[in-house]
Amino acid sequence: MSEDDPYLWLEDISGEAALAWVAERNAETADVLAADAGFAPLKARVREVLDASDRIPYTARRGAYLYNFWRDAEHVRGVWRRTTLEQYRKDAPEWEVLLDVDALAAAEGEKWVWDGARVRRPAYDRALVRLSRDGGDAVVVREFDLATREFVEDGFEVPEAKTRIGWIDADTVLVGTDTGPGSLTDSGYPRTVRRWRRGTPIEESELVYEAADTDVSAWGYRDDTPGFERDFVGRSLDFFRSETYLLEPDGTTVRIDVPDDAVVHAHRRHLLVTLKSEWLGQPTGSLLAFDFDAFLAGDRTPEVLFAPDARTALAGHSWTRHHLILETMRDVSTHLEVLTPGRDGTGWTRTPLVGVPALSAVSVVDTDPDVSDEYFLDVSGFLQPSSLHRGHIGGDTEVLKQAPDRFDTAGLTVEQYFATSADGTRVPYFVIGPDHVAAGPGPTLLYGYGGFEVSLTPYYGAVTGRAWLEGGGTYVIANIRGGGEYGPDWHQAALRAERPRAFEDFAAVAKDLVARGITTPDRLGASGGSNGGLLMGAMLTRHPELFGAIVAQVPLLDMTRFHKLLAGASWIAEYGDPDDPADLAHLRELSPYHRIEADRTYPPVLLMTSTRDDRVHPGHARKTAARLRELGHPVLFHENTGGGHAGAGDNEQAAHNSALVHTFLRRHLT
């Protein structure tokens, strides 16, 4: 935006004046919400859920061990640990603690937040540990010895950056990071990929691939499947288009020649291609299989593993040693199948995955594709706590873990309805709450996202259950366009200048809730975060009459400057380019920050962000709050000093944020 923006100074993330303004707003919000009589008990109830010791400790298999990262009241920042399957089957497994992040943070005086680890295969003896300062996307990377449970002296170590790194062998990694001028893209991600050998300066490591400044990022990885070891590099041209190359031993590259909006996955002799546009006579949303070597030799004869229809979309796939587990969605309800290639790699057969309960939300948690046909499934529902199932394809299944009920579901029901959007599109949504026919209109919270092909599928929300449903509220999830619930076409229908289709869908759901007698406008709240925060800004400025309160978390709100702030340039493919006059017109029309007017009546709004969010700039929320305040509209603002894009770096912060949100909603909707 030009210099006529009076609140540009609030984009200075750590500027003295900006932080003083943040402190004043936080104090105002605390005086209203944290001082509410219901706040402290609500926060305690939420914290109890987050810290509960009987939560399911989800794991990832790495060789003989199951690895888990765990936070609770005793381990605020968490511990990285592992156990055996034999131990894991017990109610109280014996865990080997590998890294205590609380102890590390105390020893080093840093607010470390765990961001995962890459364990080296097949030895499983070393890991590349990723640690974030207070929850940001940028991380430091350190090599860790799993036997001694210590960081490796003079091992691989990368300073804070948005690093991509992975093992090649015991003494070599592929890495993309900030190595000085020219090493990052305009979006702030790695522009180069280097082959870095132990004991050498990273700046002098071999350059194996580089992307353009205007690309989102470059990347590289080793496929270390025994017998099929291959290196791949590539570049993300934008958020949805990429190019993937096989990196030959002599340093040359061979492009995997698929459309740049397709997603490729190589596994053993197979190449899987997920389509986001038509190709080879196959429709958008299909999953195709090829023989990898034959494809590189020019064979373009696919086996169609999945083809969508108007109600069914691909949700994902996971390899086991000999099979492919296919996840699909039909009207946002998940289904699993087992696909098996013939001995020559062709002639795939399919069967249902046995042992999956009916009417449940099911997702693949983990598989071990190098070794066995073992799989782990999470099974849950809106009112059904998660259970963790383990099985072998073609064999028996067992329930390894069962989470207890976290909230009272007595009298609650789950329904799926369809609203009709402005252009006639049927938009599905889920309603979880008391029987509205018997109870009549009541306080209702409508949640949405609508972007980046993200699907909102059924899940057991213990925090929402305690904080909202138990008190008589109804919770609604809207599966609007921009998401991936019906495949790529559902997403692409709300891209760039078509973004208002997502807004119209959400408004249609809000109206349908009123028409069905589930709620009334003054008792209907809306919430969303990140891209969903843009959606909330749109509801505030386009449909204020539909809502009694709105919550926007880590929101994107200034659509004329998003590309200049932190990672914003990477989202141009989703929204458009503000520097392109052809796009600027629709972006300014989309921009909630620019649509705020003095003479309109807006519902109360709560804006929440994080100083340490290095993805969506806190200036979006800050400036919008300032603009609303200037014009006398009801707004509260809370900025957590840490937590990154998640808004919270530990359970204490998460519970505090949740209590703020639900206290705000109850004050205005009940």
3-state SS, residue 589: helix
CB 445 within 8 A of CB 473: yes
CB 211 within 8 A of CB 218: yes
Residue 105 backbone zone (phi > 0: left; psi -120 to 50: alpha; other: beta): alpha
Tokens of 238: 């934008």
Across-strand partners of 211? Answer: none
Spell 503-532 as b/e; 16+ CB within 10 A means b: bbbbbbbbbbbbeeebbbbebbbbbbbbbb
DSSP notation for 389-447: EEEETTS-EEEEEEPPP-S--TTEEEEEEEEE-TTS-EEEEEEEEE-HHHH-S--EEEE
Considering Cα of 604, then 609, then 611, then 616, what sign does the dihedral take?
Answer: negative
Residues 90 and 85: their CA atoms lie apart, in Å, by: 9
Short-list 524, 541, 530, CA closest to 449: 530
Count the Cβ atoms, other than its own, within 10 Å of residue 352.
10
3-state SS, residue 354: coil
End-to-end CA distance of the chain: 39
CB 345 within 8 A of CB 303: no
Residues 201 and 491: their CA atoms lie apart, in Å, by: 43
Identify the DSSP state of 539.
H
Which helix (H) or strand (E) covers residue 315, if one does?
Answer: strand 312-319
Tracing tokens 């705020």 back to the chain, one arrives at: 596
Cα distances from 575 to residues 361, 551, 584, in angstroms, run 31, 22, 10
The set of catalytic residues is 530, 645
